[in-house]
Amino acid sequence: MTNIPNTRGRKPRSEMTMEERRARMTNIGETNKRLATGGLNLDTDKYSYRWVNDDGTKLYEKLNNDVWDFVSSEGVSIGSDKGESVSVQVGTKANGEPLLSYLMQKPKEYYDEDKAAGQVAVDEKMNQIRKGAEGGGAGVTGDSYNPSDGITLK
């Protein structure tokens, strides 16, 4: 049997100590994720982060109609300068061009406010569901049926 040279630049597994093998696995979870932010120093206490695909108007809306900014490889905001921002190819557009996703950040204070406002709309909708059809007691009201003991969600 021919001895195959080790082309990956490390010792064969049989010669490695447990500590050496364990050290190789420290970022194993990150390397298997396409949109991992492994090497970036992100300030998750002050900012919320999101990957945004450049697939039409979504990126434009995040930049111009909201307070999302591009993030540089140093993990800091660079405003609307797409050139120096962190991006990953996540697919192909219909026209054959690469589809890129950009890492963006928004101050956590604004992010939390927006989420709370969105939750108000969800809560209102859930309250309407619990009440049943508008103005209806038990029985059929319009196209809706309201049980006599009301609607409960489990």
Distances (CA, A) of 123 to 111, 115, 118, 129, 137: 18, 12, 9, 10, 21
Assign 112 to helix, strand or coil.
helix
Assign 153 to helix, strand or coil.
coil
**DSSP structural state of residue 110:** H
45-60 pLDDT tens trace: 899 898 889 887 888 8
pLDDT top residue among 16 and 2:
16
Put simply, whether the predicted model's pTM sits higher than 0.85 gets the answer: no
Confidence (pLDDT) at 119: 93
